[in-house]
């Protein structure tokens, strides 16, 4: 009986590591993407507007570049914090990850509704849903291993 319990606990530990590593990996990649885009918005706004969004640069848009760049850096910080806490089996990291995922889904849907741009749904909403699902699964496994 004792061997069966230890085998089950070992399997749960392995599953927790897999979901945790997947969640942390996906969130880390997203954090790098947000960091790069935020940096470009802060330091190379004219280039970013023209090449990334097809918007003609005007000096009045500088404040928008600062605001969006800092917002993306804040989002990056939240993603990194979520990764660190999840790695330490702290459920607060899962909560932040789910909040970030909901934000990305909301952003994608709002972009689609406002501009009719299907790219927002494809990029932001799918990555948000992936983040939510992976966070949920990682949280479920963390709960299984820490409750025992």
* Residue-wise pLDDT tens digits, 102-134: 999 999 999 999 988 888 788 899 999 999 999
Percent of the chain predicted with pLDDT > 70: 88
Question: Confidence class of residue 4 from pLDDT cuts 50, 70 and 90?
Answer: very low
Residues 89-104 have a mean pLDDT of 96
Domain limits for position 77: 2-147
* Residue-wise pLDDT tens digits, 31-54: 999 999 999 999 999 998 888 788
Give the model's pLDDT for residue 67: 94
Q: Would you say how long the chain is, in residues?
A: 148
Q: How many domains does the chain have?
A: 1
Q: Report CA torsion sign: 32, 38, 105, 49.
A: negative
Question: Confidence class of residue 27 from pLDDT cuts 50, 70 and 90?
Answer: very high
Residues sharing a CB contact under 8 Å with residue 19, sequence separation 6 or more, in sequence order? 134, 137, 138, 140, 141
pTM: 0.82
* Residue-wise pLDDT tens digits, 64-81: 999 999 999 999 999 999
Residue 22 sits at φ, ψ, to 5 deg, of: -60, -45
């Amino acid at each position: 009986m004792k061997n069966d319990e230890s085998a089950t606990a070992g399997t749960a530990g392995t599953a927790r590591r897999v979901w945790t590593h997947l969640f942390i990996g996906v969130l880390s990649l997203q954090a790098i993407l947000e960091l790069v885009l935020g940096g470009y918005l802060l330091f190379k706004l004219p280039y970013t507007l023209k090449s990334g969004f097809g918007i003609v640069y005007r000096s009045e848009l500088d404040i928008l570049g600062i605001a969006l760049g800092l917002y993306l850096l804040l989002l990056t910080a939240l993603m990194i914090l979520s990764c660190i806490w999840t790695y330490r089996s702290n459920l607060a990291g899962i909560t932040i990850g789910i909040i970030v995922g909901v934000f990305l889904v909301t952003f994608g849907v709002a972009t689609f509704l406002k501009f009719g741009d299907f790219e927002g749904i494809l990029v932001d909403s799918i990555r948000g849903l992936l983040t939510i699902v992976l966070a949920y699964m990682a949280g479920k496994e963390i709960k299984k291993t820490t409750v025992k």
